[in-house]
Amino acid sequence: MVFKIKEREIKKHLKIKFGYDDFRNGQKVVIENLMKKKDTLAVMPTGSGKSLCYQLPATLFEGVAIVISPLISLMKDQVDFLNSLNINSAFLNSTLSTEELINTEKNLLNGKYKMVYIAPERFKLKSFKKLFTRLNISMLVIDEAHCISHWGSDFRPSYGEIGNMINCMKNKPVIAAFTATATQDIRHDIIKSLGMKKTEIIIQGFDRPNLFFEVVRTKNKDKILLSEIRKLISKHSTQSGIVYTATRNDTEKIKIFLEENGINTAKYHAGMSPEERIVNQERFINNVSQIIVATNAFGMGIDKKDVRLIVHYSMPKDLESYYQEAGRAGRDGKDSRCVLLFSRKDIVLQRFLINNDVKDHDSYYRKNKNLQSMINYCYTSLCLRQYILDYFEDSSSKIRCDKCTNCASSDSLTDITQEAQKIISCIYRVKEHFGPKTVAKVLNGKTDPLLEKWDLDKIPTFGMMKEYEETMILHYIYSLCGNGIIEYSGKRGNRLKLNDTAWKIIKENQKVFINIFGTDKECGNCLLENLLKLRNDISAEENVKPFMILKRSTIEEIAKYKPVNKESFLKINGIGKIKYGKYGQRFMKVIKEFDKV
């Protein structure tokens, strides 16, 4: 085999050219396939050294390796690094002057370079296509290959030209595609789009064991964000954090908020001028600004090893986007935190963005399906790390990680078996024909034109959970979906469907446990904490101990069921007419104000 013959030479080049004594885990098998001139798709975690996998073979092949990358910001860094190793390299992108472009293309034709980095948009230029056909190309490398797939979150239409160009080549070079995140659908789409033949698919796994994952369900995101950043600064005074936002407006507001609280903050979004974006990016990379607040326009390919904290201020549109962005933490392998701040308003925003962006049915269905997986992640009580690995179909291990909040706080789950049985019964009674909001309305029992239209106000489960607020019933439904007990179906992917696990809960009384309050431990606006604070205020007013006002278990039940009228309040254990008369209105006011936030 070619690799066996040259293995000693490869090891020699590894040491002499790159300074390493041996390969990192996973690198050798990718290099082995490329040295055999096999088309290869490699899915490798961020920070696993994928660049070496194509850079080393490129130094041994005859001709030039063309590296296609969407990351203009990273090209110069990569080229400077290679040239410092005496590996002649260059890049072609929009940052070059006309004179620089002409000289680079001339040198490329003369065989001066071993590697040339180009942006995919260059394939649209007739002049470049003409140049491309005259080159002796040893290897065609597609970095961030998930951008080629219509199924991917970072789809770039310009990548479509690459496959067309490959099909026109008389002597097709070996094709190497690399990405850190790709589901099975995306992997197949990459191979098909590039016309890769007899492709070796090498999956090194998706797990990032040094990352701690947390979802915080909260209505006071600013306070949690500030707390997380202050903790970062107190522990890592010279290391960095990224705050990802859903909109440019949020980016601007959060930057101002953090600076008002003494945090040196940069910003980055597509509405800024290219010059301003470059300046702010450099400020962050060089640790002038410890925190950068950015939309998803920032980060892909940023080679900064010491990012210790990633905070998503809002829920992203899908798990691919989330894991790509979260994966920018801890690239040096050291422990880092990934915190997602979530409220139901995030769902409304993402659905709004989908409805205004998508025209065809297939894209609408796919984006909503991806969004639903993201919502389920925010509500699941299962291991967050395992949820991500299952999504990417990484079956290498079944883990209980103890490095996510769900694993760390599994002893604080609440038994909602009875509530789950009622929800499941209702989904069955509506013949699995409706989504979460309609099911919640039926169970809540309030009259509604839609319910009357479909005679849903006449079914046995109507009003079965009338003591609960509709928002709380929705929380239960989303949590059951997040735990895989209820699924989605229908052409639009918005109908609730029962699976085998759901029927076991009905027929075998299988228990269901979820995290009612999320992980909002530090949030002063958490409903439970607000109710406890009111109890303490009343106890101070009356000069008695708090438990004499209401027991802790009663307060927890009020927080769970969120009663907002006399009938539902009196159903709480520990509440009689006297307690209701003295305190009911004050506690219900707190609940109503909380739901308005």
Looking at the chain, the whole-number percentage of residues with pLDDT higher than 90 is: 53
Q: What is the mean pLDDT of residues 462-479?
A: 90
pLDDT at 398: 64
Q: Which residue has the higher pLDDT, 106 or 9?
A: 106
Per-residue pLDDT, 521: 40
The proportion of the chain whose per-residue pLDDT surpasses 70, expressed as a percent, equals: 93
The model's confidence at residue 95, banded by pLDDT at 50, 70 and 90, is: confident
Give the pLDDT band (50/70/90) at residue 155. Answer: low
List pLDDT tens digits, range 430-448.
999 999 999 999 999 988 8
Q: What is the pLDDT of residue 561?
A: 84
Average pLDDT of the segment spanning 372-388:
93
Q: What pLDDT is recorded for position 160? A: 77
pLDDT(546) > 90: no
pLDDT in tens, 264-303: 999 999 899 988 988 998 899 889 999 999 998 786 657 7
| CB distance 292 to 298 below 8 Å | yes
When pLDDT is cut at 50, 70 and 90, the band that residue 410 belongs to is low
Region(s) of the chain under CATH 3.40.50.300: 2-203, 211-408
In the chain, list all ranges with CATH 1.10.150.80. 527-596
Residue 518 pLDDT: 53
User: Number of C-alpha atoms within 13 angstroms, CB side, residue 219?
Assistant: 15
User: pLDDT value at position 409?
Assistant: 74
Residue 63's pLDDT is 95
Q: What is the mean pLDDT of residues 422-428?
A: 97
For 411-514, the fitting CATH number among 3.40.1350.10, 1.10.10.10, 3.30.720.110, 3.50.50.60 is 1.10.10.10
CATH 1.10.150.80 fits 527-596, yes or no: yes
Lowest mean pLDDT among 26-30, 62-66, 287-291, 542-546: 542-546
- The predicted-structure confidence for 504-527, as pLDDT tens digits, reads as follows 999 999 999 887 655 444 333 468
pLDDT at residue number 519? 44
When pLDDT is averaged across residues 336-353 and rounded to a whole number, the result is 92
Distance CA 202, CA 193 (A): 18
Q: Give ranges for CATH 1.10.10.10 in the chain.
A: 411-514
Q: Is 447 left (phi over 0), alpha (psi -120 to 50) or beta?
A: beta
Q: In 32-162, which ranges are E strands?
A: 40-43, 64-68, 89-92, 115-118, 137-142
| Average pLDDT of every residue of the chain | 88
pLDDT at residue 400 tops 70: no
Residue with tokens 């709380």, as numbered in its chain: 472
CATH architecture of the region 211-408 = 3-Layer(aba) Sandwich (3.40)
> pLDDT at residue 106 above 80?
yes
Q: Which two tokens stand for residue 190?
A: 């990459």
Assign 3-class secondary structure to 490-545: CCCCCEEEECHHHHHHHHCCCCCEECCCCCCCCCCCCHHHHHHHHHHHHHHHHCCC
**Contacts with 33 (C-beta within 8 Å, 6 or more apart), sequence order:** 40, 200, 202
- 113 touches 88 (CB < 8 A): yes
- Say whether pLDDT at 5 is over 70: no
**Whether residue 4 has pLDDT greater than 60:** no
Q: What is the CATH number of domain 2-203?
A: 3.40.50.300
Place of tokens 């920032």: 298
